[in-house]
Structure 1
Amino acid sequence: MTALRLRLRLRPGAQFDVVDLRRAYLESNTAPLDGMWLSFALAAEVTLIEAGDALVGFATVDAERRVLEFFVRRPELARAAFGLVAAEADGAMVPTTSPSFLSLAIDRQQRVAVNAHLYQARDEAYSREVSPPEGTALRELTAGELALALDFGELAIPAPRDWLTGYYRARIAKGELYGLWSGAELIAAGELRPSPLQPGVADLGMVVAERHRRRGLATRILEQLIVRAGARGLRAICSTEASNPGAQKAIERAGFTAQHRLLEVAFDRA
């Protein structure tokens, strides 16, 4: 039966409507997706895709009218369904890990730019002998150190203290935030966040205080976090902006390879 005869239609939905569909979407990807990007998708508007009376797919669209996720269970309906979604959007943020979504977005592109590099740790990085730089120690931050972490984060990221408070508190409570200490000074922070949506995967991240940068600390932190992830049976992934070559070099030296990209696609309205 053709997509036309099935009467494809869109209707607004909620995140809880697409739990199973999102799981199927993530399983269809050729590599794990970046956790920060997924958090944006979880905050976006949900569109349900129906064929007849059946729910067959979904899309998420952010406030800038960019499609962040697109998935249909029946491949023969994908082109027609994407046409309906794209008609209400200005573009898409597409990971190259999603071949169908990527192909459909490229078919409509007016302009394509690389937004971010998506990395996976190489196998040998999990078994390296690693140690913190001399005179420093890397350990999990505690609830009693939240204020110090906030003071550090406001300057190093920078980020609004209100947002950072909730974010760091949650990371500390889950044992996901690490500090690199030089004596009593917090000079860098790292994150090891097991993915709630992708079992067996952990997102890694790091930030170094400005006056301690260009000393190789970012690479050393990531090296240790990769080994810790591996010890927990987790595959380490991370990402960085395409416009940040310094971070790219640090990440690659730590044992990561950028096998995929996050692309920003502007649709052709001609």
Structure 2
Amino acid sequence: MLEIKPIENLEEISTLKQAYFAQSTAPLDGMWHFGFVPMSTHFGFYEQETLVGYCCINGEGYMLQFYLSNDTKMDAKELFTLIAEQNNSVIGAVNGAFVSTAEPQYLSLSLDNASAVKVNSLMYKQKEASKQSTIPGFELKLAESEQLEQFVEFAATTIGAPEQWLTGYFGNLINRKELFGYWSENELIATGECRLFDEYQTGYADLGMIVAQSQRGKGIATQMLNWLVNSANQRGLTPICSTESSNVGAQKAIKRAGLSSSNRIVQVEFNNK
């Protein structure tokens, strides 16, 4: 009989996480899987005290990852439906799932229980390394620790993200030397990220950027992406990124920077709603 229990130490499921990423047909989005997933609640699936799978649920009641080993006797569809229909008292309410089209097994199980599906984001990847042109003199500068407050204030104002979360997120990027800024007349008008992976997807660099509202439409986004793409390629890494399905401006800039999209992140609402 399979038992579901909370996972307190994520190191317990490191081997299962590796198998989860190995199943994907394309690199998975870094922000979702290394930003949001660690903040979610993880539950382990145990068969005769042996850990055979896991899932994680975020604070809004949406599943972000689901994995069940092929070595277990439990049927994955049966277990997933049990969770989706809120029939497990340990996990509790589950409203739906965020899942990418690069995760075929997890996606199929989510669709089996779906009452509604909509595209949340587009996932991009560079097809082949090629030096993109940048305007002479255009360069991003590595963020310094004493500039953390400035970066947090800029992002909070521009995209409305919580300052507490931004402080931890940007602080970590600064320590890892993965956060960059673009200034005009001593004013920070754009930020760029070139996030590297410590495990699972080490051949990729996950790019991100924020451009001030007043500076959009001036080509800054394209130049920033070109710079970040070149920086990743110089390290022998393949750039990936994602953007909301409604952000047409970002989609155009990403395409001009030489990245293409063949996968999506979708939001699935379960039948229980």
Determine the structure 2 residue equivalent to 1:23. Answer: 18
In the TM superposition, what are the counterparts of 1:20-59 in structure 2 within 5 Å?
A: 20-38=15-33, 39-59=35-55
CA RMSD of aligned residues (A): 2.1
Q: Is the 8 A contact 1:187 1:208 kept in 2?
A: yes
Q: Which runs of 5+ in 2 are unaligned?
A: 87-93
Determine the structure 2 residue equivalent to 1:177. Answer: 179
Instruction: Tell me, in whole angstroms, the C-alpha distance in 2 between the residues paired with 1:36 and 1:72.
Output: 23
Picking from 114, 122, 141, the partner of 2:119 is 114
TM-score of the two chains, using structure 1 as the length reference: 0.88
Evaluate the alpha carbon distance shift between residue 94 and residue 150 of structure 1 in structure 2; reply closer, same or farther with a 3 A threshold: closer
How big is the shift at 1:183? 4.4
Determine the structure 1 residue equivalent to 2:2. Answer: 8
Determine the structure 2 residue equivalent to 1:165. Answer: 167
How big is the shift at 1:63? 2.2
How big is the shift at 1:191? 0.5
In the TM superposition, what are the counterparts of 1:123-142 in structure 2 within 5 Å?
A: 123=128, 126-131=129-134, 133=135, 136-142=138-144
**Stretch moving more, 100-109 or 156-165:** 156-165
Structure 1 residue 61 and structure 2 residue 57: aligned?
A: yes
Q: Is the 8 A contact 1:117 1:260 kept in 2?
A: yes
Q: Which amino acid aligns with 1:9?
A: E
Evaluate the alpha carbon distance shift between residue 179 and residue 58 of structure 1 in structure 2; reply closer, same or farther with a 3 A threshold: same
Q: Is the 8 A contact 1:136 1:181 kept in 2?
A: no
How big is the shift at 1:33? 0.9
How big is the shift at 1:204? 0.4
In the TM superposition, what are the counterparts of 1:210-221 in structure 2 within 5 Å?
A: 210-221=213-224
Q: Is the 8 A contact 1:136 1:182 kept in 2?
A: no
**Stretch moving more, 101-110 or 159-168:** 159-168
Picking from 231, 255, 272, the partner of 1:269 is 272
Determine the structure 1 residue equivalent to 2:258. Answer: 255
Determine the structure 2 residue equivalent to 1:4. Answer: none
Instruction: Tell me, in whole angstroms, the C-alpha distance in 2 between the residues paired with 1:150 and 1:184.
Output: 16
Instruction: Tell me, in whole angstroms, the C-alpha distance in 1 between the residues paired with 2:259 and 2:140.
Output: 20
Determine the structure 2 residue equivalent to 1:102. Answer: 107
Q: Is the 8 A contact 1:156 1:210 kept in 2?
A: yes
**Stretch moving more, 80-89 or 218-227:** 80-89
How big is the shift at 1:266? 1.1
Q: Is the 8 A contact 1:190 1:205 kept in 2?
A: yes
Q: Which amino acid aligns with 1:98?
A: E
Q: Is the 8 A contact 1:152 1:186 kept in 2?
A: yes
State the percentage of identical aligned residues: 39
Instruction: Tell me, in whole angstroms, the C-alpha distance in 2 between the residues paired with 1:155 and 1:195.
Output: 28
User: How many residues end up aligned between the 2 structures?
Assistant: 261
Determine the structure 2 residue equivalent to 1:3. Answer: none
Instruction: Tell me, in whole angstroms, the C-alpha distance in 1 between the residues paired with 2:84 and 2:63.
Output: 8
Q: Which amino acid aligns with 1:172?
A: I
Q: Is the 8 A contact 2:46 2:52 kept in 1?
A: yes
Q: Which runs of 5+ in 1 are unaligned?
A: 1-6
How big is the shift at 1:130? 2.7
Q: Which amino acid aligns with 2:243?
A: T
How big is the shift at 1:136? 4.1
Instruction: Tell me, in whole angstroms, the C-alpha distance in 2 between the residues paired with 1:155 and 1:269.
Output: 37
Instruction: Tell me, in whole angstroms, the C-alpha distance in 2 between the residues paired with 1:229 and 1:49.
Output: 38
Indicate the SS of the match to 1:152: helix
How big is the shift at 1:163? 3.2
